[in-house]
Amino acid sequence: MAADELTPHEENSLLRIADGADAQYDVEEAAVSRLQSLSLVEQRGMSFGLTLIGVRKVAQLKRS
């Protein structure tokens, strides 16, 4: 697996954040850290949001 490929768990975590889940409580810390390292999510105050790259990845996941 390439470094930028997501596991099914990471994909689910990304989709949950996109749907407004509270990453601090609803998503595993390891998944959030990995998504941050790939610049898919960023911390916004006390919550997390998608970066532009994250928005594109979510769109790609929803199409497949």
Dihedral angle of Cα 52, 53, 57, 63, to the nearest 10 degrees: 50
Report yes or no: 9 and 31 within 8 Å, Cβ to Cβ. yes
Q: Where are the alpha helices (H) located in 1-64, listed in sequence order? A: 8-18, 23-26, 29-37, 52-63
pLDDT tens digits for range 24-43: 678 888 999 999 999 999 99
Mean pLDDT over each residue of the chain, to the nearest integer? 89
pTM for the model stands at 0.87
DSSP 47: E
- For 64, counting Cβ atoms within 10 Å of its Cβ (0-12 exposed, 13-18 middle, 19+ buried), the class is exposed
Residue ranges per structural domain of the chain: 8-63
